[in-house]
Amino acid sequence: MVWKYALGLALMLGVAVPAIASPATYDERPAKLTNPNDFRDFDRRVVEIAMRDGVKLHTVILVPKGAKGAAMLLTRTPYNAEDQTSYGHSPHLASRIDGYDSAPDVVIGGGYIRVVQDVRGKYGSGGTYVMNRPFVGTSLNPTKVDHATDTYDTIEWLVKHVPESNGRVGILGISYDGFTALAALVNPHPALKVAVPMNPMVDGWRGDDWFHNGAYRQYNDDYVWEQVGTKDNSDHFETPNADVYDMFMRAGSAGALASAHGLDQIGFWQKLKAHQAYDSFWQEQAMDRILARAPLTVPTMLVHSLWDQEDIYGSPAVWRALKPADKAGNLYMSIGPWYHGQEIERADMLGPIRWDADTAKWWRMHVLAPFLAHFLYDKPMDVATVTAFQSGTNEWQRLPGWPTAPATTKLYLHADRSLGMAPSDSAARIDYVSDPATPVTFLPRPNKLVGYENNPWKTWLTTDQRPVSGRPDVLTFTGPMLDHAVTIAGMPIVHLTASTSGTDSDWVVKLIDVYPDEVATDPAMGGYQLAVGMDIFRGRYRQSLSKAEPITPDTPLAYEFALPQANHVFLPGHRIMVQIQSSWFPLYDRNPQTFVPSVMDAKPADYVKATQKVSVGGADGTYIDLPVVQ
């Protein structure tokens, strides 16, 4: 036998022979691997913090070595605390937190203790998961715990068990984590000294993730599946088409697609389907309404992105709700030229639009860092109540409030497809045919869902609108070349008068900055159509947001709705443009243009062509109220 020969040879040569392991112990891994961590400049602690109902929440604490009297920065997330605190392989804290929700330059520069916690029901935490868990005391939450109580209990534990801290806590986060940062302001813990909700989810019906003025954002179906379906997002939403335009079209209605893809088993999807109007379900959990019930006691900086493709409604809505009663001066706001969450990334560009500097880094160093340090370390700060980036001039502004101008300057649509600050004397109606079989796309095809590599989702709000401006089902109105700058700072209000041959309709209105035909310094921008603000309104909610009603066909009716906040200068040589259309697909589900009780359950026969007529000129002509700075 070969092994006997080898053993004999080893004995003759005097070589030590290790004991032959048994099959049960034949393993080269240690029973427990210990990392010496000698190279680390931080201490990583993982704890399970018990909440008042006994549920334990998985929490990662990163403490800089040698820290003493350090403040803590907390983020509560459904997006995996382990991933957010284990970036890369470096032993240096600055590299390990270079991920979602973290601004390493601010965290490291401030010497903060970084704390990231999985919300209940997600990843390492126990308990059940409910999307944007409603608050205790509402009809939507039968338990005695919510994000406010969980934050309170977490902070209570942290100030008692992290000896390196100074007993002060700040909370910050983006998107869902921005929502949890807002939730912390409801009955806040005394040790919570500052909050920075960035791009927070505030009202899922009015204009954040799920609906925009009643139109369902079906592009989020994959998020609903992955976020709610499993604890660790391990089961992925499968798309049978490389171009999801085809997937949504072939399915028909949003409800049919959801059923075909298994979403009917997801509790949150059932709620979306059951609450297509702005009923008590949405009103009871709108964060601006909740926070307005009590004075703000924690210094808070809301962070808003002018081209936020996911939560463009939230921060300004909270500002409007809270600032009038903010006698103590606790509420601040920052407005940046960013997509959703870009304030913690590099931000010298947004799509093809150049800002001439890294706007996010400037904001973090000159606004975020001193703001946090002031309330967590008593350091002096010089931060304005509102810090706003003005696109067009590409300059930061220090403002005492927001908006800086009322929306009272009327921009009128004219029958010759022009625009003007004065109405035309003659009234007219300009028509187009909206066909659900050939909907207007929000991006040129092919369309891909949000998570795919190289997807333009982040920057789609700044994409050139020329691909649709010449479609026969898109009305385009263009103003004269400007000989002077026109500055707007606030929320444009659409006053649309229109009729439809159908009994339901969607209306999409876009306010656009048209660049000069040639731009010498950037030839690619010649003639570019940059949307400054655009949104959709589902016509069935014209009379009441909380109750759907059919539209009287072939009757001019008034529609009023807001476009997102803008802080923009239309420069000399540019033109102002307005576009109107009746679909925005596949971002939003198609309106069948026949009134049915549930748009999500529309049948193929319900989808019909409709002739849309927009009224211009005269007493009832369509116009947009602009917040022009005089």
Domain covering 42-206+281-399 in this structure, CATH number: 3.40.50.1820
Residue 35: per-residue pLDDT: 81
Q: Distance of CA 264 to CAs 78, 121, 228, 271, 349, Å? A: 22, 20, 12, 10, 40
CB-based contacts of 256: which residues, under 8 Å, 6+ apart?
Answer: 601
| CA atoms of 484 and 95, how far apart (whole Å) | 47
Domain-wise residue ranges, the chain:
42-206+281-399, 218-280, 409-626
Q: Starting from the edge strand earliest in sequence, which strands make up the sheet with 506-514, in order? A: 475-478, 575-581, 506-514, 529-538
Residue 103: per-residue pLDDT: 84
Segment 309-329 shows an average pLDDT of 98
Torsion of CA 300, 315, 321, 535, to 10 degrees: 170
Q: What is the pLDDT of residues 567-607, one digit of tens each?
A: 999 999 999 999 999 999 999 999 999 999 999 999 999 99
Residue 2: per-residue pLDDT: 46
For all residues of the chain together, what is the average pLDDT? 95
In the chain, what's the furthest Cα-to-Cα distance? 113
Point out which residues pair with 489 in neighbouring strands. Answer: 567
Residue 464: per-residue pLDDT: 98
Segment 320-331 shows an average pLDDT of 98
Per-position DSSP letters for 373-397, written without gaps between them? HHHHH-------SEEEEEBTTTEEE
State which CATH number among 2.60.120.260, 3.20.20.20, 3.90.1310.10, 3.30.565.10 fits the domain covering 409-626. Answer: 2.60.120.260
| CA atoms of 367 and 334, how far apart (whole Å) | 8
Q: What is the pLDDT of residues 93-151, one digit of tens each?
A: 988 886 666 788 999 999 999 999 999 999 999 999 999 999 999 999 999 999 999 99
Residue 96: per-residue pLDDT: 86
Given a cut of 50, whether residue 6 has pLDDT beyond it is no
| CA atoms of 95 and 117, how far apart (whole Å) | 19
Percentage of the chain modeled with pLDDT above 90: 90
Residue 36: per-residue pLDDT: 81
Predicted confidence band of residue 610 (pLDDT cuts 50, 70, 90): very high
Other residues' Cβ atoms within 10 Å of the Cβ of residue 546: 13
Predicted confidence band of residue 452 (pLDDT cuts 50, 70, 90): low
Q: What is the pLDDT of residues 471-522, one digit of tens each?
A: 999 999 999 999 999 999 999 999 999 999 999 999 999 999 999 999 999 9
Tokens of 389: 């980036």
The letter for the amino acid at 548 is: A
Residues 89-93: contacts with CB within 8 Å, 24+ apart? Answer: 91/37, 91/39, 91/40, 91/41, 92/40, 92/41, 92/42, 93/40, 93/41, 93/42, 93/62, 93/64
End-to-end alpha carbon distance in the chain:
99
Residue 7: per-residue pLDDT: 46
Q: Distance of CA 58 to CAs 42, 54, 115, 123, Å? A: 19, 13, 11, 8
Tokens of 552: 């009287």
Per-position DSSP letters for 406-429, written without gaps between them? -S-EEEEE-TTSBEESS--SS-EE
With tokens 């190289």, the residue in question is 454
Predicted confidence band of residue 46 (pLDDT cuts 50, 70, 90): very high
Domain covering 218-280 in this structure, CATH number: 1.10.3020.10
Whether the Cβ atoms of residue 285 and residue 200 lie closer than 8 Å to each other: no
Given a cut of 50, whether residue 343 has pLDDT beyond it is yes
Segment 535-548 shows an average pLDDT of 98
Q: What is the pLDDT of residues 225-255, one digit of tens each?
A: 999 999 999 999 999 999 999 999 999 999 9
Point out which residues pair with 512 in neighbouring strands. Answer: 531, 577
CA angle 531, 395, 325 (to 5 degrees): 85
Q: Where are the beta strands (DSSP E) in 104-208?
A: 113-118, 165-174, 192-198
